[in-house]
Amino acid sequence: MEYKEAKDKFVSTWGSLGSLWGINKAMAQIQALLFISTKPLSMEEIMEELRISRGNTSMNLRQLIDWGIVTKVLVSGERKEFFTTEKDVQELARIVAKERSRREIKPVIKVLEEVSSIENDGTEATKELIKQTKALKELTDDLDTLMNKLVNQKQNWLTKSVIKLMK
């Protein structure tokens, strides 16, 4: 497999996997392209490489910047904006996990907390709702805490062991 084919396959596959980390295909493809790039890329270079519109590129770059995955880079002598992404895989995983927790898990925990703290009117239905939502909230809290601890660890023996177990 030649470089161009391998690069296109990586970017395409990473784009398809983007939905697993809560972002759309174009966002993931932009991040993948920046991830394997040896230099920061301009919006025009990204548009040309991925064959996507300026609006789509701009909107997705802005979202990636909001996530903390992509940053703007000043290139001496250039008026265009250039972009790069985090290259450390562990740090990238930490950023994504932290952002997903903030955007997705924390709001769910808040709703479960509200629902499970309703006044118990003594009916079986209310008791069951309170019981199940409390249990789900506790599990979600525990999983969020575990995930945050794992991604905040440097690559040490514990992290390596857990990653091996997951493979």
Same domain, 74 and 98: no
The pLDDT assigned to 138 comes to 93
Same domain, 56 and 20: yes
The pLDDT assigned to 96 comes to 79
The pLDDT assigned to 64 comes to 93
Short-list 160, 34, 10, 166, CA closest to 43: 34
Same domain, 134 and 150: yes
Contact (CB, 8 A) for 146 and 137? no
* Amino acid identity at 27: M
Give the structural domain span for 131: 89-166
Residues in the chain: 167
The pLDDT assigned to 114 comes to 92
Same domain, 127 and 57: no
pLDDT means per 10 residues, the chain with 167 residues, are 91 84 86 94 95 95 92 90 89 80 88 91 92 93 82 61 63
Cα–Cα distance for residue pair 19/22, rounded to 1 Å: 5
What are the tokens at 113? 């907390």
CATH of the domain at 118: 1.10.287
Measure CA 136 to chain center.
23
